[in-house]
């Protein structure tokens, strides 16, 4: 057996004589070395025997020997056993547990306990294979670049691994990339030189407007996005929706005027045409006339309130529609339905005027025609605009 020490960490190893002169690597510090040759121990020179006079040896004096009985082994005494075969951790068990299966507390490996030094040695490795400490990673296939780096780098493997980890840090990579790239001022200068030498227009990618200009020169067909453009995305608003909102506000103002006319005009008409007949009535007739007149006034007031609510409903819906709120779209649709209903009433009024046995006043006919055109036209226009899907996508 050849016994030698590692030149890197002074660890001691023992190998067979047949491994002399071969290369090896320390499993602890990864230092490569050459296994030394077996050196024969020099023969010790014979010790000179000085001339002496033989002296008779004295007679041995008998000494009484007291034989003490061997104490019995304590079954609970700790005994060191062979290390764990997996993690090589030294363990100890009691005497009573020798020969039983024990579990390593570190790697959870179960093995049979045996007193330290009594386990049979591992069979020798077959010829042609290296021992565990002689495993050379150079025999494995690896790239030429890695071989050159390992040959040029004399640092221990642990320090090299730490340095490599430091090189993988983002800040390190960013600094390395910055070192390879030219400075910003240098890049700007080189870009200006390239633009001067080249007749092509310089393209600034940071400007969206320039990109759009470049797209104008591109004649290739582009796929149209299927996603509808909303107010938050493109910011474009169709004029039809705005017109519908303004039209709704105008109709609401007209309803407001009609409400005011119903409030004050109804009361004025009842008081004007009811004052003269009331003077010629007896007390009982006056009471009945006043009761009827109060009912007519209440009807006018109720109609005025309904018209006022419709007017406010139209104005609020028109404002919300201009602001592209979903509530405004719903209100305008309801107002359009109301316009269609009152338009049908207006059409019935026009037909009723035409069927009179006498010629109606031209003012009444014009009023009915204007009401018919406004209500029917508004109802149809608002429903068409608000029910279209491409216009509906503009509302939030």
DSSP codes of every residue in 54-100: --PPPPPPP---PPPPPPPPPTTSEEEEPPPTTT---EEEEGGGTTS
Residue 259: pLDDT over 80: yes
pLDDT of 224: 47
Residue 228: pLDDT over 50: no
The total number of structural domains that make up the chain: 3
d(CA 363, CA 257): 18
Q: Is residue 192 part of a domain?
A: no
Same domain, 7 and 114: no
Structural domain harbouring 93: 76-121
Q: Provide mean pLDDT across the span 55-68.
A: 57
Same domain, 2 and 102: no
The H or E element spanning position 395 is: none
Same domain, 18 and 104: no
> pLDDT higher for 114 or 161?
114
Same domain, 109 and 243: no
Mean pLDDT of the chain: 69
**Which position has the token pair 């007291």?**
66
Q: Provide mean pLDDT across the span 224-231.
A: 44
Residue 195: pLDDT over 80: no
Three-state DSSP at 189 gives helix
What's this model's pTM, rounded to 2 decimal places?
A: 0.34
Same domain, 252 and 385: yes
Same domain, 112 and 10: no
Q: Provide mean pLDDT across the span 174-191.
A: 52
Residue 260: pLDDT over 80: yes
Same domain, 256 and 321: yes
**Which position has the token pair 């002169």?**
21
Rounded (5°) CA angle 287-290-292: 110
pLDDT of 268: 67
Instruction: Label residue 133 by pLDDT band (50, 70, 90).
Output: very low
Give the pLDDT confidence of 327-347 residue by residue, as tens digits: 888 888 888 888 888 888 878
Same domain, 269 and 317: yes
Give the pLDDT confidence of 357-386 residue by residue, as tens digits: 777 777 777 877 887 888 888 888 888 888
pLDDT of 222: 54
Q: Is residue 31 part of a domain?
A: yes
pLDDT of 210: 52
Q: Provide mean pLDDT across the span 245-253.
A: 88
Angular region, 117: left φ>0, alpha ψ -120 to 50, beta rest: left
> pLDDT higher for 168 or 379?
379
Q: Is residue 111 part of a domain?
A: yes
Q: Is residue 357 part of a domain?
A: yes
Q: Is residue 156 part of a domain?
A: no
Same domain, 82 and 27: no
Give the tokens for residue 112: 């049979």
Residue 274: pLDDT over 70: no
């Amino acid at each position: 057996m050849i016994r030698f020490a590692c030149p890197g960490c002074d660890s001691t190893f023992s190998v067979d004589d047949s491994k002399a002169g071969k290369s090896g690597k320390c499993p602890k510090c990864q230092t490569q070395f050459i296994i030394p040759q077996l050196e024969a121990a020099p023969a010790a020179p014979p010790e000179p025997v000085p001339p002496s006079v033989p002296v008779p040896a004295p007679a041995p004096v008998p000494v009484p020997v007291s034989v003490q009985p061997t104490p019995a082994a304590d079954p609970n005494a700790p005994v060191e056993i062979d290390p764990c075969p997996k993690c090589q951790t030294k363990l100890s068990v009691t005497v009573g547990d020798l020969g039983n299966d024990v579990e390593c507390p570190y790697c959870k490996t179960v093995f049979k306990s045996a007193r330290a030094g009594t386990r049979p040695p591992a069979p020798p490795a077959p010829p042609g294979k290296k021992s565990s400490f002689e495993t050379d990673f150079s025999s494995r296939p690896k790239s030429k670049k890695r071989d050159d780096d390992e040959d040029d780098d004399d640092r221990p493997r642990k320090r090299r691994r730490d340095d490599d980890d430091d090189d993988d840090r983002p800040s390190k990579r960013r600094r390395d990339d910055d070192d390879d790239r030219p400075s910003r001022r240098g890049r700007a200068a080189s870009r200006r030189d390239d633009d001067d030498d080249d007749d092509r227009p310089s393209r600034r990618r940071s400007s969206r407007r320039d990109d759009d200009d470049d797209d104008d020169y591109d004649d290739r067909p582009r796929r149209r996005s299927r996603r509808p453009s909303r107010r938050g995305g493109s910011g474009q608003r169709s004029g039809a929706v705005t017109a519908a909102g303004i039209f709704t506000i105008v109709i609401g103002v007209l309803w407001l005027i009609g409400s005011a006319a119903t409030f004050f005009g109804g009361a004025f008409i009842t008081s004007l045409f009811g004052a003269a007949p009331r003077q010629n009535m007896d007390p009982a007739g006056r009471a009945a006339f006043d009761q009827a007149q109060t009912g007519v006034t209440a009807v006018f007031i109720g109609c005025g309130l309904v018209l006022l609510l419709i007017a406010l409903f139209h104005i609020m819906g028109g404002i919300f529609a201009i602001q592209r709120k979903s509530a405004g779209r719903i209100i305008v649709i309801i107002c359009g339905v109301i316009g269609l209903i009152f338009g049908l009433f207006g059409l019935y009024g026009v037909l009723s005027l035409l069927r009179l046995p006498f010629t109606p006043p031209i003012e009444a006919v014009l009023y009915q025609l204007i009401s018919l055109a406004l209500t029917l036209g508004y109802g149809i226009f608002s429903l068409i605009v608000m029910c279209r899907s491409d216009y509906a996508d503009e509302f939030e």
